[in-house]
Amino acid sequence: MLRQTPRFLLGRASAAATRWIRPFSTDLPSETGGDSKFIDSWKKTIPNIDPPKTPSAYMKPRPPTPSTIPSKLTVNLVLPYDSVLSAKEVDMVIVPASTGQMGVLPGHVATIAELKPGIFSVHEGNDVTKYFLSGGFAFVHANSVADIIAIEAIPVDRIDPNLVQKGLSEFQQKLSSASTDVEKAEAQIGVDVHSALNAALTG
């Protein structure tokens, strides 16, 4: 009897895990039902007042995942104050993920990646446009759309090497003279960003 216990518990755990597996967002239907359950419940509870709109009411339906891999990757590069690239079709992008440089081609598996300071390169045929990103996130969808959300982005050819070296020296001095954890953290961020800027210019 006791010999069968581990097998029994393992089977129960596997069944429970299977039952609670949530689908990826790319497995969901491309068009939602418009919060129909919420609206029905609202009308039953408060029939005299129109239900409020939820965020999904203001969102466009997600494009369906194509049955074949498209020839181009659609890229959006968005900052808090600007849209640098909007639905731009390219051959490939390379993002500075926290785990290393990550290339994204059409048909890439759905992925969310944290970005570290580094180079974001956009490849269109033989042309390559490079941006320096200070950090952010990359959302790669199964329908060959990549959303790059960054704090700051600047074309590499607009970066002044002299200012980068000056900033790096200043933050290194601040780091060596910092007396509190907050000062050390702020100085270390400055060193990391300027070191990445310097590597982008010399690499």
Per-residue pLDDT tens for 10-27? 455 444 444 444 444 444
Q: Is residue 65 a part of any domain in this protein?
A: no
Give Cβ neighbours of residue 43 (< 8 Å, ≥ 6 apart): 51
Confidence of residue 9 (pLDDT cuts 50, 70, 90): very low
Q: Is residue 87 a part of any domain in this protein?
A: yes
Q: Are residues 96 and 118 both part of a single domain?
A: yes
What backbone torsions phi and psi does residue 75 show, to the nearest 5 degrees? -120, 135
Q: Are residues 151 and 164 both part of a single domain?
A: no
Q: Is residue 68 a part of any domain in this protein?
A: no
Last residue of a domain, one of 31, 58, 85: 58
Least Cα distance to 92 among 123, 119, 128, 135 occurs for 123
Q: Are residues 152 and 95 both part of a single domain?
A: yes
Q: Are residues 35 and 83 both part of a single domain?
A: no
Q: What is the pLDDT of residue 55?
A: 66
49 lies in which domain range? Answer: 2-58
In the chain, the percentage of residues whose pLDDT exceeds 90 is 51
Q: Are residues 103 and 166 both part of a single domain?
A: no
Q: Is residue 66 a part of any domain in this protein?
A: no
Q: Are residues 118 and 152 both part of a single domain?
A: yes
Whether 197 has a pLDDT exceeding 60, the answer reads yes
Q: What is the pLDDT of residue 2?
A: 47
Q: What is the pLDDT of residue 109?
A: 92
The CA dihedral of 81, 82, 87, 91, to the nearest 10 degrees, is -110
Q: What is the pLDDT of residue 53?
A: 75
Whether 195 and 183 have beta carbons less than 8 Å apart is answered as: no
Whether 128 and 103 have beta carbons less than 8 Å apart is answered as: no
In a 13 Å sphere around the CA of 192, the CA atoms on its Cβ side amount to 13
Indicate the pairing of strand 153-155 with strand 100-104: unpaired
Question: How many C-beta atoms lie closer than 10 Å to residue 136's C-beta?
Answer: 23
| Domain count for the chain | 3
Q: pTM of the predicted model, to two decimals?
A: 0.66
Token couple for 6? 């581990």
The CA dihedral of 168, 174, 175, 177, to the nearest 10 degrees, is 150
Q: Are residues 129 and 78 both part of a single domain?
A: yes
Q: Are residues 81 and 152 both part of a single domain?
A: yes
Least Cα distance to 73 among 109, 100, 99 occurs for 109
Q: Are residues 151 and 107 both part of a single domain?
A: yes
Position 53, amino acid:
K
Mean pLDDT of 56-77: 80
Whether 128 has a pLDDT exceeding 50, the answer reads yes
Q: Are residues 48 and 119 both part of a single domain?
A: no
Q: What is the pLDDT of residues 136-164, one digit of tens each?
A: 999 999 899 999 999 999 999 898 999 99
